[in-house]
Amino acid sequence: MQTTHLIITIFSLFLSTHLGLAFSGFTAKHPVDPHNKEVIMVAEYALTEYNKKGHNLHFINVVRGTYEQYPTGIIRYDLIITTKVNPGDPHVLYEAVVDLERGPNPIMKLISFSPYNKISSFFEFVDEFMNA
């Protein structure tokens, strides 16, 4: 009898922990394909929204990035984008974070758009390398 209660208690704790993680928004990040049409669409959207604030950046390409899908169905893209202002200007990297809700008329929301910080990225790379 005690064994049955113990098994039920352990199972209940296990189940509540995993359901709690699922409903709390715990997700895994996945790498993107920089040539994927949806990824490029999201990157161009981010740049267009940023340019509405008086900037004049031109999209070159997506270097790399990640996405994560939330239980709500929203996909959050975190992309490194190559841009430039004028032909002949050096390329500048920006990091864009965009939420996408898929559907017949996709809804996107720019969360952030800022110059890419190579130093923090270096430490992320070292951390990934050490934990691999």
C-alpha span between 99 and 107 (Å, rounded): 8
Task: Flag whether 111 is in a domain.
Answer: yes
- The whole-angstrom distance between residue 132's C-alpha and the CA centroid of its chain comes to 20
- Structurally, how many domains does the chain consist of? 1
C-alpha span between 85 and 58 (Å, rounded): 6
pTM of the model: 0.70
Task: Flag whether 7 is in a domain.
Answer: no
pLDDT tens per residue, range 88-112: 889 999 999 999 998 888 899 999 9
Q: What is the pLDDT of residue 55?
A: 94
pLDDT above 70 (res 131): no
pLDDT tens per residue, range 20-58: 444 555 679 999 999 999 999 999 999 999 999 999 999
Closest to 78 measured CA to CA, from 69, 65, 68: 65
Task: Flag whether 79 is in a domain.
Answer: yes
CB 102 within 8 A of CB 73: yes
Task: Flag whether 17 is in a domain.
Answer: no
Residues in the chain: 132
Q: For position 98, which CATH number holds?
A: 3.10.450.10
Handedness of CA 68, 42, 116, 129 (dihedral sign): positive
Task: Flag whether 6 is in a domain.
Answer: no
Task: Flag whether 22 is in a domain.
Answer: no
CA angle 57, 62, 64 (to 5 degrees): 135
Q: What is the pLDDT of residue 87?
A: 83
Task: Flag whether 5 is in a domain.
Answer: no
Task: Flag whether 15 is in a domain.
Answer: no
The helix or strand, by DSSP H or E, that contains position 4, with its residue range, turns out to be: helix 2-23
Cα separations in angstroms, 31 against 36, 63, 79, 84, 131: 11, 11, 10, 24, 17
What is the span of the domain harbouring residue 51?
A: 28-131
Q: What is the pLDDT of residue 75?
A: 97
DSSP 8-state code for residue 103 = S
**Most confident stretch, 27-31, 73-77, 85-89, 118-122:** 73-77
Percent of the chain with pLDDT strictly greater than 70: 69
User: Which of the residue ranges 8-12, 33-37, 75-79 would you say has the lowest mean pLDDT?
Assistant: 8-12
pLDDT above 80 (res 116): yes
